[in-house]
């Protein structure tokens, strides 16, 4: 990053190449929309490019990167929630349900059925993570998927390491309860899944 600050555009390209995919993944898990995630990732890199002169190496670059990303994602979610509330005032409908298109279950084709079950599991996981309070969600994503150290996550979330550990425990505890049917061995899950899938269609 110091090279980028000195005006080395090639170093910026290296940063982009190294952090683009993990950043888009993090944002995608935050906002659950790939197009929005890419837009936000673009905005993160653009802000870093604009602020490169002000970069002070007193913290890790990733701390800076993910703090910007977290703030942008949370703002985007709040804006989207606000818009959704305005739109849904006159429209009855179930919020919080999956945004996947309705699935027509075909006749018994094991390959497709398994695919649908896998898709359903992924959607449940995403929904459970998304239902966590904002801070817990960010903590889980940075801990589980970005594999960041506790001190770095604590800096991004502006809390103590001790508070972060409690936050993570509460978040995983919620997920453990929410995803209990998936946590059971796959054999048990498979026997329950078709009934649930049928209810959703």
Partner 1 sequence: MNCERIEKQLIAYMDGRASSTERREVEAHLADCGACRTRAEEFRLLWGVLDEAPQAETSPAFDARLRARIAAEPPRQSLWAWLVPSPRLALAVSLLLVLSVWISSVPAPGPAVAEVAQSEAEFKMIKDLPVLEDYDVLANFEALSELPPQPVDANRPM
Catalog residues that contact partner 1 under the rule CB under 8 A.
7, 16, 20-21, 24-25, 28-29, 34, 37-38, 41-42, 45-46, 49-50, 53, 118, 121-122, 125-126, 129, 143-145, 149-150, 162, 165-166, 168-169, 172, 175-176, 179, 182-183
In the complex, what is the shortest distance from the CB of residue 103 to partner 1, in angstroms, rounded to a whole number? 18
Instruction: State which residue, 82 or 145, has the beta carbon closest to partner 1.
Output: 145
Contacts of 77 (CB under 8 A, 6+ apart): 30, 31, 134
- Taking the CA atoms of residue 112, residue 114, residue 117 and residue 121 in that order, the dihedral angle to the nearest 10 degrees is -130
Instruction: State which residue, 67 or 143, has the beta carbon closest to partner 1.
Output: 143
In the complex, what is the shortest distance from the CB of residue 11 to partner 1, in angstroms, rounded to a whole number? 13
* In 6-133, alpha helices (H): 9-31, 34-50, 61-87, 110-130
- Measured from the Cβ of residue 137, the count of other Cβ atoms closer than 10 Å reads 20
Instruction: State which residue, 61 or 126, has the beta carbon closest to partner 1.
Output: 126
Instruction: State which residue, 159 or 179, has the beta carbon closest to partner 1.
Output: 179
Residue 149: burial class (beta carbons within 10 Å; 0-12, 13-18, 19+): middle
């Amino acid at each position: 990053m110091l090279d980028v600050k000195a005006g080395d555009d090639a170093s910026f390209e290296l940063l982009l190449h190294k952090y683009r995919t993990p950043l888009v993944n993090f944002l995608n898990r935050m906002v659950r929309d790939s197009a929005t995630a890419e837009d936000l990732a673009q905005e993160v890199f653009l802000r870093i490019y604009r602020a490169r002169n002000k970069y002070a190496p007193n913290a890790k670059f990733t701390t800076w990167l993910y703090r910007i990303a977290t703030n942008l994602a949370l703002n985007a979610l709040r804006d989207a929630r606000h818009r959704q509330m305005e739109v849904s005032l006159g429209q009855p409908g179930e919020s919080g349900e999956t945004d996947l298109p309705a699935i027509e279950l075909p006749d018994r084709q094991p390959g497709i059925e398994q695919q649908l079950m896998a898709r359903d599991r992924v959607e449940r996981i995403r929904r459970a993570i998304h239902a966590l309070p904002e801070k817990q969600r960010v903590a889980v994503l940075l801990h589980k998927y970005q594999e960041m150290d506790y001190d770095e996550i604590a800096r991004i979330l502006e809390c103590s390491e001790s508070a972060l550990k409690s936050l993570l425990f509460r978040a995983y505890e919620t997920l453990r309860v929410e995803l209990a049917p998936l946590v059971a061995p796959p054999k048990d899950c498979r026997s329950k899944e078709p009934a649930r899938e049928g209810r959703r269609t």
